[in-house]
Amino acid sequence: MGRLYAIADLHLSWDLNRQELAKLDYCPDDSLILAGDLGEKAEHLELAFEVATKRFKKVYWVPGNHELYSIASGDDDNPTPRGVKKYEECVEIARRYGVLTPEDEFAVHESEGDPVLICLLFTLYDYTFAPPPHDKSPEKALAWAEEVGTVATDEILLHADPYDHKVAWGLARQAISRQRLEEAKKKHPDLPLVLVNHWPLRRDLIYIPLAPRFEIWCGSVKTEAWHREFGAKVVVTGHLHVPRTDWRDGCRFEEVSLGYPRQWQGPRDNGLDINTLMREIWPGESERKGEVPLEDSTRPRWRRNG
């Protein structure tokens, strides 16, 4: 039985990243997690799913902020869907290819290691990843970020329709994800979980040195203990474009993004490609070697070079 791999932030609007996707090895016994930000358009998702499903036994997907962007099509008779409808369009595309989404039942992954339950989540964010007192409201958080000129494209292209604000949509998605996790633990009490979400579940694992205040668009404080509460073995996220491995409470946290071409120029120069930059999630190198740390990691393991 095969292994479980993950990669995020393929950003297929970039030609070089599309070329890289075509280099995916054929791994008919393995499964692949696509942890969000495949691109902004339906054609980007279709390309990713077309390639991945031909290479891997099973493919899982969660949305990132870029999939939720509503970009004007110039066709007044067929307006671009916004908010929940844009997300639902993405889910329908995934289902045409047999790709599992956060709207499907959590799947048991059988591999060369112990079986695990793959929990596909969609939590969005609620602007609470800001320091006090800026975390008291989205307006205060946004003002804090704007002090240094940081404004996410989300504020222009990511809409929450029919919700009146992205915070309301984020809180609704967090509630749905929590309920599904609670139900999963009742149904599979002995199975360890792999939590998959595009946005980081913990603020202390966010490192964006060029735009540190971008963290307000990176998640919610409400998810910070989910790995412990639900007995997760691994948490898979993307979004930051800073691949790294961390350990908290015996749980391995993997940031698995590829990023924009300029951000992984170094790995390309060193002869690495998408196959060496994908991350093995389960059973995982540490688990196979029996090297699971007994204490939380004080320093991340940076993985820009694989």
pLDDT at 228: 96
pLDDT at 187: 95
Cα-based angle 106, 112, 116 (whole degrees, multiple of 5)? 25
pLDDT at 79: 72
Contacts of 234 (CB under 8 A, 6+ apart): 116, 194, 195, 251, 252, 253, 254, 281, 282, 284
pLDDT at 290: 78
Measured from the Cβ of residue 242, the count of other Cβ atoms closer than 10 Å reads 19
> What residues are paired with 60 via a beta bridge?
33, 100
CATH code, domain carrying 160:
3.60.21.10
pLDDT at 2: 86
**For 8-25, how does the pLDDT look when each residue is reduced to its tens digit (9 = 90+)?**
999 999 999 999 999 999
In this structure, what token pair is assigned to residue 254?
A: 């993997």
Contacts of 203 (CB under 8 A, 6+ apart): 129, 215, 218, 219, 221, 224
pLDDT at 72: 79
Low-confidence ranges of the chain (pLDDT < 50): none
What is this structure's pTM? 0.95
pLDDT at 75: 60
Number of domains in the chain: 1
Q: Are residues 143 and 135 in contact, defined by beta-carbon separation less than 8 angstroms?
A: no
Q: Are residues 292 and 42 in contact, defined by beta-carbon separation less than 8 angstroms?
A: no
Domain extent, residue 291, equals 4-302
Q: Are residues 243 and 304 in contact, defined by beta-carbon separation less than 8 angstroms?
A: yes
The Cα 287–Cα 54 span in angstroms is 28
pLDDT at 298: 81
